[in-house]
Amino acid sequence: MARTRPEPVAGAHPIDTGVAELSRDPIAGGWLLTINGAQSSHIHPDPAVLDFEYMRQMAAVIADRYGADASLRVLHLGAAACALPRYLADRQHATRQVAVEIDAELARLAREWFDLPRAPRLRIRVGDGREVLAGLTEQTRDVIIRDAFAAARTPRHLTTLEFTEQVRRVLAPDGLYLANCGDSRDLTLARAEVATAASVFPHLALVADAAMLKGRRTGNVVLIAADSPIEDTPELVRTLLSDPQPAKILTGRRAREFASGAVIRDET
């Protein structure tokens, strides 16, 4: 007889890196997870539903490049409640994923609260994302997704040239690197991250809504990097524009022109 999963308990829960707050979402349904005051994950009863627009954008890029039947090796640097790994496991059934989460208690609670796929479809590994990445064999991942935050910012050691070189080393030749770049309206951090990625990868793309790309609001820019061309196919463009939060994609020269500022390095 299958074990009945206990209902998650709304409220504040102490974790290793601070406080996780779990609350019901009366509008979209499901649960909203907030870490130290910053929205971190949304888990819907249907794993095929992603509430955060940047996750839908990442999912659209992956589906457009590889199709629905591809067997992918995916590494997530930053896990939280594993909303995107859960979605990919539902859509890409043959895919094998590892989600790296630095907070052991948060990883335990996510497994306890939500119907996350089990290994080998999804392994949750506790550790620092860069340290785990450095220990992986080269060309062993098809997709690497960076979605790690501390105090509403990506930890600096996950943004540098040296980190990005490790990402490229671990990616397969046709692999994709997708990074969630959260930034304010001045876009200083996002532009510097693009400059850094452009110094490592020959091909770049950016996805965000037009207001974000024009510096009119605080939000997220999805940075995409690869060794092979990233195409803005008509199907992908339509998918992004038809989203509840319409987005646009910049590829090639337009993506590189977004870059400004110095390349981020470990020693600076």
Task: Look up the CATH number of the domain holding residue 66.
Answer: 3.40.50.150
Q: Number of structural domains, the chain? A: 1
Where residue 259 falls among pLDDT bands split at 50, 70, 90? Answer: very high
Q: Is residue 27 part of a domain?
A: no
The neighbouring-strand residues paired with 97 are 74, 122
Where residue 197 falls among pLDDT bands split at 50, 70, 90? Answer: very high
Strand 141-146 with 171-183, pairing: parallel
Dist. CA 244–CA 159, nearest whole Å:
29
Spatial neighbors of 237 by CB under 8 A, at least 6 apart, are 248, 249
- CB-based contact 207:248 (threshold 8 Å): yes
Q: For the chain, state the CA radius of gyration.
A: 18
Q: 138 vs 69, which has greater pLDDT? A: 138
Dist. CA 183–CA 189, nearest whole Å:
6
- pLDDT tens, residue by residue, 17-26: 999 999 999 9
- pLDDT tens, residue by residue, 78-128: 999 999 999 999 988 789 999 999 999 999 999 999 999 999 999 999 999
Dist. CA 48–CA 99, nearest whole Å:
18
Q: Is residue 77 part of a domain?
A: yes
Q: Is residue 262 part of a domain?
A: no
Q: Is residue 17 part of a domain?
A: no
> Residue 268: pLDDT above 70?
no
Exposed/middle/buried for 8, CB within 10 Å: 0-12, 13-18, 19+? Answer: buried
Q: How many CB atoms lie within 10 A of CB 215?
A: 15
Per-residue pLDDT, 214: 87
> Residue 3: pLDDT above 70?
no
Q: Is residue 130 part of a domain?
A: yes
Q: Is residue 153 part of a domain?
A: yes
Per-residue pLDDT, 1: 39
Structural domain boundaries enclosing 60 = 52-257
Q: Is residue 15 part of a domain?
A: no
- pLDDT tens, residue by residue, 135-183: 999 999 999 999 999 877 899 999 999 999 999 999 999 999 999 999 9
> Residue 68: pLDDT above 90?
no
- pLDDT tens, residue by residue, 227-248: 999 999 999 999 999 999 999 9
Amino acid at the residue 21: E
Q: Is residue 187 part of a domain?
A: yes
